[in-house]
Amino acid sequence: MSEKLTIVGGGITGLVAGYIAAKSGKKVKIIEKGADFGGLLKTFPIGNTRLEYYYHHFFTHDVELKWLLSELGLEEWLQFYDTRMGVFKNGKIYDFNTPIDLLKFTPLSFWGKLKFGITSLFLGKIARWENYENVSSLDWFYRWAGENVTNALWKPLLDIKFGPFAKSVPLAWMVGRLRQRMSSRNNGDEKLGYLTGSLQKLLDELLKELGRLGVELIQNCEVKSLIIEKNTLLGFETDKGKFFGGEFLFTIPTVYLSKLLDAHNQLFQESLSKIKYFGAVCVVLELTEKLSEIYWLNIADPGFPFGGVIEHTNLISEKFYGGRHIAYLSRYFSHDEEFAELNDVQIEELMIGNLMKVYPDFNVEKIKKAHIFKTYTAATVCDLNFSQKVPDCKTPIFNLYLANMCHVYPDERSVNNSIRVAAESCKVLGIDTSSIPKNVSLAGKLGFNS
């Protein structure tokens, strides 16, 4: 075990792995391609505060996140709020929080409601994900929840989230997802958390702490090629020169690591390239008035360019944003669909042009400002038997370790689970992580077999 650890990727996984490793006495460097650290947690200025590019909320069972916040003295800043969820179906907004809301949801027949309730409870409370890795969610829903329920709810939701991959999403992923959501609920009411002041607060404190621990933080530094000899990673080349020595933990998306490997590591490269990623776009609107009372609205009617409207200021007060109401219009996309090619102006026009269909009282005058953010690596595509694709943290190349969101499966990728992945990767590197709490209620953990 080397005392020197170089981490590539300065998102939350890389930063937390660096924190744990440096605390254990390792000499750590973190190399980041972008101008700022944070990856998908990045924020932008809004009024007197900051806001995430991509909506971020947390669950009451996010114990790893709570651990990190307490390490940084920020636990008071994570506040939990009651939330209101909704579904837009057949041109109408329905509340979708409690069993009573389900009874009032007219797009489903009586039997449909019953089947929806029973199948959701089964998946969220009873099913073991290991048994459903090779079962397509849609096939299972058609069989057990029926056509009415699947066409009205599950299919549009899976289509929006996974596009052309919807058919091959394993039921194991649904089990992880529903379990996560249900354990944040109490009698149907869901509490979701938000970090007052935005995730920038966490990033700033974490970066300060890393500085104090002597971690070398190097940004604007993209790893361009690897220096591998006799199946050992000796170092890599970047915009800022070559880096050599010690062990290397890559926390960048798997697809980028696969591109850095060459023909000498063809088999490993091919196995990594099987893991595909989705993109996501969030159009963030600063509005003079709220759109509705609902925090999270799933769009279940076909033909909309966004799959969800997340009214952030229905979770936390608009007073934090000088009275501006904030809504995210969110859309996941696959890399080969037309939407991926649209520029910001086209995206804005398309999204805003469709908003009035959901909220008839909305008009463009209510928009004070719109911000558009796009990533090509928002989530991994978890398809059938995905666990067999998840690479070990200790790779076949000596000194090269890999930890990122593909290791989170079958749970949903999240900040909390990135912290868990960071902790697990440190364990693989021989660091004692026993003091970091672990949420056993999550569905499962894979990819750290070595």
Ligand X SMILES: Cc1cc2nc3c(=O)[nH]c(=O)nc-3n(C[C@H](O)[C@H](O)[C@H](O)COP(=O)(O)OP(=O)(O)OC[C@H]3O[C@@H](n4cnc5c(N)ncnc54)[C@H](O)[C@@H]3O)c2cc1C
Contact track, ligand X, 311-330, x by CB under 6 A: -------------------x
How far apart are CB 103 and ligand X at their closest, in Å? 28
Compare residues 119 and 330 and give the one whose CB is closer to ligand X.
330
How far apart are CB 10 and ligand X at their closest, in Å? 5
CB atoms within 10 A of CB 411: 23
From the list 85, 202, 223, 446, which residue makes contact with ligand X (rule: CB under 6 A)?
Answer: 223
**Tokens linked to 40:** 């998908």
Is the link from the previous residue into 410 a cis peptide, with omega within 30 of 0? yes
The answer to the question of residue 14 lying near ligand X (CB under 6 A) is yes
Compare residues 46 and 65 and give the one whose CB is closer to ligand X.
65
Q: Which residue type is seen at 310?
A: I
Compare residues 207 and 280 and give the one whose CB is closer to ligand X.
280
Q: Are 137 and 158 in contact (CB under 8 A)?
A: yes
From the list 9, 163, 170, 391, which residue makes contact with ligand X (rule: CB under 6 A)?
Answer: 9
The answer to the question of residue 20 lying near ligand X (CB under 6 A) is no
How far apart are CB 351 and ligand X at their closest, in Å? 14
**Tokens linked to 2:** 């080397």
How far apart are CB 404 and ligand X at their closest, in Å? 5
> Distance between alpha carbon 399 and the CA centroid of its chain, in Å?
28
From the list 19, 55, 88, 243, which residue makes contact with ligand X (rule: CB under 6 A)?
Answer: 55
The answer to the question of residue 12 lying near ligand X (CB under 6 A) is yes
b/e per residue, 32-53, with b = 16+ CB within 10 A?
A: bbeeebbbbbbbeebeeebbbb
Q: In the 8-state DSSP scheme, what is residue 390? A: P
From the list 39, 193, 305, 410, which residue makes contact with ligand X (rule: CB under 6 A)?
Answer: 39
Compare residues 18 and 112 and give the one whose CB is closer to ligand X.
18
Strands (E), 13-52: 27-31, 43-46, 49-52
From the list 6, 7, 11, 120, which residue makes contact with ligand X (rule: CB under 6 A)?
Answer: 11
> Distance between alpha carbon 150 and the CA centroid of its chain, in Å?
25
How far apart are CB 52 and ligand X at their closest, in Å? 8
The answer to the question of residue 404 lying near ligand X (CB under 6 A) is yes
The answer to the question of residue 415 lying near ligand X (CB under 6 A) is yes
Q: In the 8-state DSSP scheme, what is residue 123? A: I
Is the alpha carbon torsion for 448, 225, 266, 11 positive or negative? positive
Alpha-carbon separation of residue 2 from 40, 108, 253, 352 (angstroms): 30, 60, 24, 53
What SS3 state is found at 31?
Answer: strand
Q: Name every residue whose Cβ is closer than 8 Å to that of residue 293 and which is 6 or more positions away in sequence.
A: 84, 314
Compare residues 248 and 321 and give the one whose CB is closer to ligand X.
248
Where do runs of H (alpha helix) occur along 213-253? Answer: none
Tokens 């909506």 appear where?
55
Alpha-carbon separation of residue 343 from 55, 339, 346, 356, 374 (angstroms): 21, 9, 5, 22, 10
Contact track, ligand X, 338-377, x by CB under 6 A: -------------------------------------x-x
How far apart are CB 352 and ligand X at their closest, in Å? 18
Rounded Cα distance between 232 and 11, Å, is 25
How far apart are CB 62 and ligand X at their closest, in Å? 7
Contact track, ligand X, 228-267, x by CB under 6 A: -----------------------xxx--x-----------
From the list 378, 393, 406, 423, which residue makes contact with ligand X (rule: CB under 6 A)?
Answer: 378
Question: Could you list the residues that contact ligand X (CB under 6 A)?
Answer: 8-14, 31-34, 39-41, 54-58, 222-223, 251-253, 256, 280, 282, 330, 375, 377-378, 404-405, 413-416, 418
